[in-house]
Amino acid sequence: MTVDTASEVFTGRFGTYQITVADRRGVLTYRLALLAMAISFTLAGIAVIAGGSPWLVSALFALFAAALAVALFTIHIYMLALHRALWALWAVGVAASVALSFALGAPIAQLVAANPLTVLAPGFVFAALTGICIKESFCFGWWETALVAFCLPVLILGYLGGMLAPAVGTGLFAACALALLLVTIRKFFYPVPGDIGDKTIHAYVRGENHG
pLDDT score for 193: 77
- Kindly give the residue spans of alpha helices, DSSP state H, lying in 141-191: 143-160, 166-187
Give residue limits of the domains in the chain. 30-191
Return per-residue pLDDT of the chain as tens, 211 residues. 444 443 477 765 666 667 778 888 989 999 999 999 999 999 999 999 999 999 999 999 999 999 999 999 999 887 888 999 999 999 999 999 999 999 999 999 999 999 999 999 999 999 999 999 999 998 888 999 999 999 999 999 999 999 999 999 999 999 999 999 999 999 999 888 777 766 776 666 666 544 3
Residue 148 CA to residue 178 CA, distance in Å, equals 9
Residue 173 CA to residue 176 CA, distance in Å, equals 5
pLDDT score for 186: 93
pLDDT score for 3: 42
Residue 103 CA to residue 124 CA, distance in Å, equals 19
pLDDT score for 4: 40
pLDDT score for 196: 74
* Main-chain phi, psi angles of 15, to 5 degrees: 140, -165
Is pTM beyond 0.85? Reply is yes
